[in-house]
Every structure is written in C-alpha cells, then in structure tokens.
Amino acid sequence: MIANRPKSAEAAGAPLLQRLLSRPYPAVMGVLNVTPDSFSDGGQFIAPEQALAQARKLVADGADIIDIGAESTRPYGSQQPVSAEEELRRLKPVLADVVSLGVPVSIDSMKSDVVTWALVAGAAIVNDVWGLQRDRGMATRVAARDVPVIIMHNRDRADPAIDIMKDISTFFARSLEIAAKAGVSPDNIVLDPGIGFGKTPEQSMTAIARLGELSSFELPLLVGASRKRFISTVSPSEPQQRLSGSIAAHLVAAQNGADIIRTHDVAETVQALRVAAAIREQQ
C-alpha cells in the first residue's frame, strides 16, 4: 500500500481518496453490473429492484465503494458495443437509489457523456477501463468535476511476446500526461493494471506478482482479479466457482501494494483482508 498513508484521514473534510485509503488494509470496491452480458453475473441485476437489492447487500457486506457499470467490458469473448443512450437507459432507474445508500459510487464507463451524467446524478468516482485514452473528452470532464479517476491499463488484444510490466508503465505514463494536460489533480488518480484486459493469463499473474514495480508512480493502486479467467488456467473452474482463487490473488495483491480491491464477493474479501492485516500486525 502507498507509503505514509495518513492515519487521520477519517476526519471530516478529508478528500474522498484519503478517507478510503486510511486503514491498514485495502478499501473494497463491490461490483454491480446492470448488464445482460457481463462474464460473471450478466443479467442477474439488470432489473432496477434486483440491482438495488444487490447494492444493499454489497454495503451490508462491507463495501467501501460500489462500482456500477452498464456496459460489459469483459476481457474475452465477443460482445456488442453499447451506445451511451443504452447505458443511460440502464443506469437512470437505479443510480440515484444506489447513491442514496451512502457509500461512494464509482461509474464504470468508457464514455464521457455517460460519466458526466452519472457525476451530476451523484456518482463520486470515475472508473475508465481505457485509462483516459479512448474517449478524448474523458480527462476534461473528470478535471471539471474534480473527482477521483481510476486509470486502467488496457490493450485491444493480448500479445504474449511483450514485457507486460513495461507496457503497463508506458500506458500509464501516457495516461498521466493526458490527465496533467486536462488539469486532473494527481491527488485524484488511482492506477489499475487491468487484470485480464489485453493480457494472457500468465501476464495477468505477472502483473499481480510484480505490482510493487508500479509504486514508482507514487499513486494508489487498484487490483480487480475477481473471478478472472487466469484463475481457471491454474484451477479449472467456471466464473462463479473462483472465489478461493480470487481471494488468493487479492491477498497477494494487497501484500504487493494494492490499495483498493475490486470484487464481486465483498463479505469474503473483506474478511480475508482484515485477517491478513491483523496477522501482519503481530509480526
């Protein structure tokens, strides 16, 4: 986790990221997909009442952030592109109710128009799976609202021949240049190596194993390995059978410097992180 994390960040008025990152274990981001085709839970929460019930469960289970997305960004397989209008149609019946639960809401979208609407509607964080590099208006919109943004590494396709850590670092350097030119405050930036996105399973595992190399950016790190395909290459399983593998990956990520963990399984992940942190405190 980032060095010198302030211990007084829970004080009223502290910036959102500072408050989230003030504990000895990572913050937990719960996944809420209001989509019909996400790789792990597509269609389960497409109805507004189902989505709200799941959001309430995530909060009860200990989520520090709810990450809501209305377009599948699953990192393998085919999916039809979703228009901004369709994303908004899925989000509008539920976003305000999710925001009202009192937990910071992250909008998971690669479209600046969707992000702008969601921020006005109460979302507090932007999660861009293309790291400000796909939609040219994204960085400007983020800067204008002065909100935290998660910059994720991505590629159109995996290339097993490349040095994935070098590729991630080069991508982040470009994203940070875009952010700086748009006026995004460094205090509002989180970096995500994009486990499973444009990577072979081996490269995804490498990104977790060598996560500490990204500490050179001196920014908080998010890791989302929940139910990802690389787990199945080690232990054959379907997405909803990968809880143990997800927790194993997230514990290693936390040990290697992750400040936020993005997961479908909040209660189990919170417990694992808390126990691991308690054990480390006894060393």
pTM: 0.92
Active-site residue among 90, 228, 229, 242? 228
- Mean per-residue pLDDT for 127-155? 97
- Residue 228 is a catalytic residue: yes
Question: What is the overall mean pLDDT for the chain?
Answer: 91
Query: Residue 4 above 60 pLDDT?
Result: no
Fold of 16-73+80-281: TIM Barrel (3.20.20)
At 190-244, the pLDDT tens digits run 999 999 999 999 999 999 999 999 999 999 999 999 999 999 999 999 999 999 9
Active-site residue among 90, 111, 155, 262? 262
Output the CA torsion 231→32→63→224 (10° steps): 30
At 67-104, the pLDDT tens digits run 999 997 755 444 568 899 999 999 999 999 999 999 99
Banded model confidence at residue 11, pLDDT cuts 50, 70, 90 = very low
SS3 label, residue 98: helix
pLDDT of amino acid 6: 37
Query: Residue 13 above 90 pLDDT?
Result: no
| Distance of alpha carbon 82 from alpha carbon 72, whole angstroms | 8
| Distance of alpha carbon 64 from alpha carbon 46, whole angstroms | 22
Residue 181, Ramachandran bin (φ over 0: left; ψ between -120 and 50: alpha; else beta): alpha
Question: What burial class does residue 11 get, using C-beta atoms within 10 Å of its C-beta: 0-12 exposed, 13-18 middle, 19+ buried?
Answer: exposed
| Boundaries of every domain in the chain | 16-73+80-281
Helical (H) or strand (E) element with 207:
helix 201-209
